[in-house]
Amino acid sequence: MLTPEDGLNQRADASVEGEAPLALPMEGALLTPIKMRLVFLGSPGVGKGTQAKRLSKQYSVPQVATGDMLRAAISKGTAEGKEAKSYVDSGRLVPDHLVIRIVQARLLEDDMRNGFILDGFPRTKEQADALFEMGVGIDKVLNFYLDEKILVSRIEGRRTCSKCNEIYHMDYHPPVVVGICDRCGIPLIHRKDDKAAVVKERLIVYQKETAPLTQYYEKQGCLFHIDANGSVEDVARRIQDACRF
């Protein structure tokens, strides 16, 4: 069970007297940009990417997904991509210096001025320290957790479009035509890092190297735990309870 340790910070269902929650709009609504600087933590398959995309669209702030950025670099055959490929294929974390270099360049772009959602970064204390040294302020850190058996099932069932990076699930979010991307009309792939053996290695690596970040951010008083079990809407409501600006 990947659950937060006893005594860690506030729960997502905690209330703060005198504060109004940040109301999440109905799906499809688009809001005027607001200042939102969030970090999403959680093991692979927990669903943080789905929630990050939802908030990114509705609040007009970019989702900075290190996984997508690394896969794009690998696909393009860039220097960073070539360096990262062997790590990604074996389920190991990409070295800090490489991830930091990619994210730092992204944070300097103009569309980051109204905020951002960091999805998959930081993953280690070294990356968190680097973020602090960049002078990047963080409003909230949301730690998503879920039972390990559900995590494995979620990841093993994934299929991905190699062109648009849309992620499907054979049981929960299948394409209209089996094995074909709805958007691009090309065959979906089963990524190597979504297969059973690599999934188990990824979870072990996460527990060892990334999970301790909850303590790092708990000490800063900005950590909130989000139960990731349930529908997208259920989890979104829990995020609403945590995101008070």
Instruction: Name the residues annotated as catalytic.
Output: 48, 123, 158, 191, 202
25/42 Cα distance (integer angstroms):
24
* Residue 216 burial (10 A CB sphere; 0-12, 13-18, 19+): middle
Encoded tokens for 223: 């950590």
Cα–Cα distances (Å) from 237 to 23, 129, 139, 241, in that order, read 9, 30, 18, 6
Pairing of strands 167-169, 158-160: antiparallel
Cβ-contact 215, 186 below 8 angstroms: no
